[in-house]
A and B are shown apart, each in its own frame.
Chain A
Amino acid sequence: MKSTVRARVVGRLATMGPGFGFLIVFLAVPLALVLSYTVFRRGRFGGVVYEATGENFTRLIDPLYLDVVIGSVKLATITTLLALLLAYPTAYMIARLPAKWKVIALVAVVLPFWTNFLIRTYAWIVLLNSEGLVNSGLDALGLGKLELLYSDGAIVAGLLYAYLPLMILPLYSAIERLDPQLREASSNLGARPIRTFWSVTLPLSLPGVLTGCVFVFVPSLGNFVIPELLGGGRRIMVGNLIRDQFLKARDWPFGSVLALSVIGVLVLLLFAQAWASRRVGRDA
């Protein structure tokens, strides 16, 4: 009896020990450091001076930074809504495809996501540039050229392009799991397709919707490459602000506060998602 207990302990340590050891040192400790840096004064060349202060947090409501936060939330929200609008019908269609086509359609969604993120952003510079494909097309139609690149629109296009697959996948698995009998029951009881969608399909797929929103909204907030390359640096988003605190302004505590607020948004959304899953689980 005692030896089996020992074997289990050894088994645990041999399998999970190295992995969790690594994660504790290189994930948990770094995150704890970010958390602790939020309450200290900045060092002159990066790092911190170990004097407690609440200053870093009050700077968040400085109008200068508040504008950045509000602007980022706005663009990330638009991106998330557009992704939802495009992804929901797509995921719904994929879920109803025959098995063979389903796999192909899903792989086709995932493929761009696994390619180089810079390349995918660069593709939009090629498309939207004043000499690019879109402008050449507009010119040929006699509509003249538009300033497409270096705008909020270009940023949203880039963010949507980067994260759309992350909206489609969770939606697909949520819709796939739905019991088709519920839809049938609804329509047999005389509900029109729109009514069935609003009162059966959508509420039951809400956990998937929220997962997708987490996967699109949070990285959109924290992205600094797309605002820089497609926004031309005109629009500063939270991601840019964080990058600058660490690599330019050398204000690590304020950068940590900003990073912490991104994590805060992430945790909040994950809680909403867990709440929605539980609710659906109870109803079903």
Chain B
Amino acid sequence: MRRNRKQGNGWLRLPFWLTYVFLYVPIGVVVLMSFNRNKSPYAWGGFSLRWYGQLFGNEKIREGLINTLIVAFGATVLSTVLGTLLAVGLARYNKSRLLDALSTMPAILPDLVLAIGLLIFYAAVKMTLGLHSVLIAHTVFGMAFVTAVVRARLNHADTSMEEASRDLGATPVTTFMRITLPTLAPGILAGALLAFTLSIDEFVIAFFTAAPTQPTLPIVIYSMVRFGVTPEINALATLLLAVSFTVVIAAQRMTKLTEALS
């Protein structure tokens, strides 16, 4: 630190801390307000859990939550299986940069573009919209993240065990199930967790591909935020923040997440 100051970098600390204040004050305020007794969501009136109580009685939110969980579980399973296989295949066989690009494309493509693409596609093949159409859409980008995380793990993996297994006469399937998968397990689990949080929080694509009668939780939140603010949203927001934080920290502990994504 002393050396930093001597090099004239001390002033860098201001934007550094400003970034973290900027990132955490807004969500901190929402969390604080969720415990606010006051009916007005904008002024403090003492500690209370009443909005959490009301939240659990809200029919629309419960429906949205169930829809979201169905989609998220389905999309997570599908994108984990497809993404893991894809990552192994790409690491082993692929030399084409085009295929590499295709596998990471859903992560870079703006969500709105993917959303309208799928909307057009579903209309063109005359598929009715429902939870399945959201599930497919979420698998498209969930898979990209699983592939990226598992691949990052593969790059550090030691291949000598797989070679030994093959030399000892194991079939490719046996080698894959008994050696490759267990080695990759932390990466796969981390990828699955990311796909799950992404799906739970995803709004734009769901907005375009869900049936109006079966909204996911973010769609319910959107209509709530749009047509007036209720303190229940603060409570819901706090719960969702808690879920995302837990999942992401868990994923981080399992693999070097930040490394895979940067």
Contact = CB atoms under 8 A, between A and B. Distances in A.
Interface of A: 7-8, 10-12, 14-20, 22-23, 26-31, 33-34, 37, 46-47, 85-87, 89-90, 92-94, 96, 103, 106-112, 114-127, 129, 131-133, 136, 160-161, 164-165, 168-170, 172-173, 187, 193, 214, 218-219, 221-225, 228-229, 239, 242-243, 246-247, 252, 255-256, 259, 262-263, 266, 270
A19 B83 contact: yes
Interface string B120-156: 1101100000000000110110010001000000000
Chain B: interface residue count, which band?
35 or more
B168 interface: no
Given A16-B89, A23-B103, 18 more contacts: A18-B86, A23-B102, A26-B121, A27-B140, A28-B102, A96-B4, A111-B245, A116-B241, A119-B30, A119-B240, A123-B27, A125-B225, A132-B42, A164-B23, A170-B262, A247-B208, A259-B116, A262-B113
B204 interface: yes
Q: In this complex, which of B15, B23, B88, B109 has the most chain A Cβ atoms within 10 angstroms of its Cβ? A: B23
B120 A34 contact: yes
Contacts, number: 266
Contact of A11 (B30, B89, B114, B143): B89
Interface string B78-110: 000111011011101110000100110110111
A17 B136 CA distance: 17
Contacts of A31: 113, 117
A224 B204 CA distance: 9
A219 B41 CA distance: 30
A46 B85 CA distance: 38
Interface of B: 4, 7-9, 12-16, 18-20, 22-27, 29-30, 33, 40-43, 81-83, 85-86, 88-90, 92-94, 99, 102-103, 105-106, 108-114, 116-121, 123-124, 136-137, 139-140, 143, 147, 172, 194, 197-198, 200-201, 203-204, 208, 218, 221-222, 225-226, 229, 233-234, 237, 240-241, 244-245, 247-249, 252, 257-258, 261-262
Contacts of A47: 123
28 contacts: A11-B93, A12-B89, A16-B85, A19-B89, A22-B82, A26-B118, A26-B137, A26-B140, A27-B140, A29-B121, A90-B15, A93-B12, A107-B248, A109-B19, A114-B198, A115-B27, A115-B245, A119-B241, A126-B29, A161-B23, A161-B26, A187-B7, A214-B108, A222-B110, A228-B226, A229-B226, A246-B119, A259-B116
B20 A108 contact: yes
A108 B4 CA distance: 23
